[in-house]
Structure 1
Amino acid sequence: MHKFGFIGLGIMGSAMAKNLLKAGCQVTVWNRSPEKTEDLVALGATRAETPAAVAASCPITFAMLADPAAAEEVCFGRHGILEGIGDGRGYVDMSTVDPATSQKIGFAVVAKGGRFLEAPVSGSKKPAEDGTLIILAAGDRTLYDEALPGLEAMGKKILHLGDVGKGAEMKIVVNMVMGGMMAAFCEGLALGGKAGLATADILDVIAAGAIASPMFALKGGLIAQGIFTPAFPLKHMQKDLRLAIGLGDRLGQPLAAAAATNELFKGGRAAGYGDEDFSALYKLID
């Protein structure tokens, strides 16, 4: 039986940890808000008191945290991962962070005698629940091979992209594109509505053509009903756009469309929609 730790039980992490349990794995969990561990414990998980305790007791620990600041706090903070890692145990950070943060965490883990893999995911709440995430791993290849049974319980497509940083870069690129798609989609629905076109007809035409996508099909119907329950919170999309623009700055790559999209999502946060789904951008535009 495989034994894994799991740190971070938000919208994504709780679903991912449940899939590890469903796959028959032993799972030790920790979350900053302890009450979020209760569902997992009821399903058979063991609760640890600190991230260090998770890392010390499990051959491989996964983490799914909100942003670079949270990822650094869990690693470097008091009773953090670095206090428990060592003896070749593995740390797999599945959070979406910038490449520099991922490399900083990876270097520190290795310096303590552990092994490190970054493995950000493409997909939101439903794929996390269904175990159909796309997992973008990079780093220690032996750890990748050993973590694969756990990764396969959480994802449908798992890639190893090379050295630490490449997984983070891939995730940032993918989410930058997704944010731009959502912004254009919301503007199209709003413009069509002002012109007197039925939303159902707009969605029907989009679905029949070259720009059809699962995201438009899923989010279009929810937007039409005014449902913005968070599968991927708007504040997290804005964070990912900010990371993309930062990557563009470092590489000298102009990102005019992404910069404009980032300003739209910043407006969504300012309007109070940060904790709603990223499709709540429509409320700002309409």
Structure 2
Amino acid sequence: MKIGFIGLGNVGGKLSGSLLRNGHDLTVHDLNPDLVRGFVARGATAGESPAQMMRDCEVVITCLPSPAASDAVLQQMLPEVGPGKIWMEMSTTDEAEIRRLGPMVIARGGAAVDCPVSGGCHRADTGNISIFAGCDRATFERILPLLQTMGRRILHTGELGSASVLKVMTNYLATANLLTLCEAMVTMKAAGMDLGTTFEAIRISSGNSFVHETESQVILNGSRDISFTMDLVKKDIGLFQAIADRTGVPLEISPLMIDIFNDGIRRYGERAQSDDIIRRLEEATGLDIRAPGFPAEMVDDEAEEPGYEVVPPSRVALAG
């Protein structure tokens, strides 16, 4: 199977790296020619354009920074879509947008999948990240080997668009957790607690979480380097708020989170690391939230493993 991959940024570069590392026939494209050259040096083929890649590949994967970018790329590919072609959208995007674009692909005889990832760039780098996939079951079966190469836990979420709904929900929860961890650590510092001890107290308690075990470490190191920027957080939590608005759910915490990140962007810039949001509290209190012994960046120390499908209990019950 010839695979095209468009978007070699923080996440896309790692996902496509897993495909290349595991021997797939890969053609790549990015607006940054240096990123493309790096992949060519490792054995990939440089794509000429999105249209050429859709014409020559069976599957084209996009992993782009915004719904507008995904739309622009798909419009270039669309004339080359036909029976047997698959578009896999791995960007974190608006479910309404994927439900608008996907049928354009399907109408030309192709298949469309929204398959965003969750679990951090460090796990994307090792192929151990989780992947959601929204599409019909037959298409899911066709792309499952690719998903199992790029990720470890694979969840078929249902119809096209369902994966994007769940993805922005998980990013909303992760952001809420990040903000409460920032408040917790600054408050503990103000109360005179040792931050290393605070980290362990959270880690071994009911307050623990994936976000704490990863992002709290780079916060305490001081690098705040989580390979995810404030503009992307704002986009993701805004997409979650849009779902709530469309469905008439009167959220209370979500609007406050959006306000906090708007303020963070005003202070530190759109491309500031998302974990820099703790600086708002550091500046307000004059406290330095750093501690020795924590890493500057997250590295997945688990061995790369073949992926597998995660089956929800409800589906197991129906099968039984």
TM range, normalised to the smaller chain? over 0.9
Secondary structure in structure 1 of the residue aligned to 2:177: helix
| TM-aligned CA deviation for residue 103 of structure 1 | 0.7
Residues in 2 aligned to 1:276 and 1:19: alpha-carbon distance in whole angstroms: 27
| Counterpart among 150, 154, 161 of residue 157 in structure 2 | 161
Q: Could you say which residue in structure 2 is the equivalent of 1:38?
A: 37
Query: Amino acid of the residue matched to residue 25 of structure 1?
Result: H
Counterpart-to-counterpart distance in 2, 1:233 and 1:200:
25
Gaps of 5+ in 1: none
Aligned counterpart, 1:217: 213
Measure the CA separation in 2 of the matches of 1:212 and 1:274.
Answer: 29
1:235 and 1:3 mapped to 2: Cα distance? 33
Distance 1:20 1:91, change over 3 A: same
- Do residues 49 (structure 1) and 45 (structure 2) align? no
Report how far residue 120 of structure 1 moved: 0.9
- Give a deviation string over 1:186-240, Cα, whole Å, max 9, x none: 1111122222222112111101101212321222221122112242222211110
Are positions 1:283 and 2:279 aligned together? Answer: yes
Aligned to 1:261: 257
1:99 to 2:95 alignment? yes
Whether contact under 8 Å (2:64, 2:70) holds in the other structure is yes
Structure 2 distance, partners of 1:14, 1:197, is: 40
Alignment of 1:6-17 (within 5 A): 6-17=5-16
Q: How does 1:115-134 map to 2 (within 5 A)?
A: 115-134=111-130
Query: Take 2:72 and 2:185, find their aligned partners in 1: how far apart are those partners?
Result: 40
Q: Report how many aligned residue pairs link the two structures.
A: 282
TM-score, with normalisation over the residues of structure 1? 0.94
One-letter amino acid of the structure 1 residue matched with residue 67 of structure 2: P
Tell me if 1:242 matches 2:238.
yes
Give 2:26's aligned amino acid.
V
The change in CA–CA distance for 1:213 and 1:230 in structure 2 (over 3 A counts) is: closer
Deviation at 1:108, TM superposition (A): 1.3
- The answer to whether the Cα contact below 8 Å between 1:74 and 1:81 also exists between their aligned partners in 2 is yes
Contact map agreement 1:51 1:84 (CA 8 A) in 2: no
Corresponding residue for residue 85 of structure 1: 81
Secondary structure of 1:235's partner? helix
Shift of 1:245: 0.5
Aligned partners of 1:86 and 1:112 also within 8 Å? yes
Contact 1:229–1:276 (CA under 8 A) maintained in structure 2: no
**Is the CA contact 2:218–2:224 (under 8 Å) kept in the aligned structure 1?**
yes
* TM-score scaled by length of structure 2: 0.85
Give the Cα separation in 2 of the matches to 1:155 and 1:273: 32
| Superposition deviation, residue 47 in structure 1 | 0.6
Q: CA RMSD in A?
A: 1.3
Deviation digits for residues 5-58 of structure 1, max 9, x if unmatched? 111100110111110011110001111222221111111111111111111111
Q: Does 1:252 align with 2:248?
A: yes
- For the 8 Å contact 1:228–1:276, the answer to whether it is kept is no
1:56-79 deviation per Cα after TM superposition (whole angstroms, max 9, x unaligned): 111111111112111111112xxx
Q: Does 1:75 align with 2:74?
A: yes
Deviation at 1:273, TM superposition (A): 4.3
Residue identity opposite 2:103 in structure 1: F
The answer to whether the aligner puts 1:139 opposite 2:135 as a matched pair is yes
For residues 99 and 19 of structure 2, what CA distance do their matches in structure 1 show? 26
SS in 2 for 1:137: strand
When residues 197 and 273 of structure 1 are mapped into structure 2, their CA distance, relative to the original with a 3 A threshold, is: farther
* Structure 1: distance between partners of 2:20 and 2:89: 19
Q: Please name the residue that 2:183 is paired with.
A: 187
Secondary structure, aligned partner of 1:189:
helix
3-state DSSP of counterpart to 2:268: coil
What is the DSSP-based 3-state SS (H/G/I as helix, E as strand, rest coil) of the residue aligned with 2:278?
helix
Distance 1:97 1:144 in 2: 19
Higher RCO by CA contacts (8 Å cutoff, separation 6 or greater):
2
In terms of Rg, which structure is larger? 2
Counterpart check, 1:28 vs 2:27:
yes
1:113 matched to which residue of 2? Answer: 109
Is 1:64 aligned to 2:60, yes or no? no
Alpha-carbon shift at residue 81 of structure 1 (Å): 1.7
CA distance in 2, matches of 1:226, 1:7: 33
2:195 to 188, 193, 199: 199
